[in-house]
Structure 1
């Protein structure tokens, strides 16, 4: 009996039995293997071959994504690195996949990578904050460990922590129903500014929000958060208990990084920056360069 052939066939049968879609990519980006579930998830005909570096399969996948550019950007940032990844991607038909990836070294393939896709559509929608339409605290805690995984010189990450200025006084003055309306409006502003599936917005507390935004330039991530602060002020929602602005505003701590940092370090720094914005008069952003700070 040829045990080598037996082991290969056994491994293939095991991978085809998994509920997750599996893709293995070699050092020079060629697709080495896809299991049956991968093709089912991505609606790829089973007779589509892996030749030509799997370009046909890639095109099938990209055509179904809400943010194909973001999908490719993450792949580029991880190629030939040892970084792991866990995030979520959204498809045009409303489905949500959890995407995981780890690298491994193979004698024949060199630095290679395995990608794992899991349909988490039902779970994802259970993590939506019903008031704002953003992801909720539970989802934030699940994602927190991979906050800056895509940070690189080619992918700048902006991380914002902000809350509404004197929001307790707003509720005391105008009532909680009016306060809920404010939160709905804030959620709408944030969703309108988050254009890529690699970007995330969370409601992490009563009036506290956490955002993660990716771009290729530092200037773009700064513009992003400035636009959100300005858009909230331009809502012109009356708030007499928030002088001198007399309308609903936000205070924000905002960090920028191009190097992976620990999530706890990131949160601590942007939280400190948020309190600095409050101390300096509110309705403003305190910017910190995370790459320049010691862990």
Structure 2
């Protein structure tokens, strides 16, 4: 059961944090950062695109989150990924940005996060997969006031789109996937990365543990959309140049296709399953 982070108990938050820190100590966390960074760099509108800018953005990240969750559960089998509903919890002084969970925004001078379990000061969270010479986690929540988080109305407008994706299948395409990813329309996923700023605004965004909560919510929104549009499915269904069609394997796994990732209930449930919520549409 994947829960809204706002409903986690103190023990659940602590267990999640400790599992993430243990994964970092064991050297396995940074493998996820490297993988994500490599795909951000290689995915382009004019060439092969697997994890970003194309139809497989959602199934790729669903598998990526599952792999990470399985690693966490190998450390503590009570831990599941929580999601951050950024249409509701928008206060940079409140959850998930509290000292007992993800810590707060970075300091003005350099964006360094100095509070919470992922601050450099405790020596438990040093950045190894770097985008520059700095080895500390960086954030600037609200990006200096220049970016705002998406609203529930904006989210609803994207969930209402009935077509998953369209030719030319990249960042200038129409459809649900591209508006959720944020290259067109109201811009949901990309805008949240920009709002958090710091490492979240780079290809090495998993350096910030909020990456997992953000993408868990994006994954939930895909599941919500599937419930709202049962007659609309993943596109393209047939092999198409430079993108991953329904039955084609996704790198780096080699044996995982988008079709394998369509039914999230094979792996987990969300805490709003079978409910109908205002704004968010039906639960996954």
TM-score, length of structure 2 as denominator length: 0.24
Q: Which has the higher contact order (CA 8 A, sep 6+)?
A: 2
For the pair shown, the structure with the greater C-alpha radius of gyration is: 1
TM-score, length of structure 1 as denominator length: 0.23
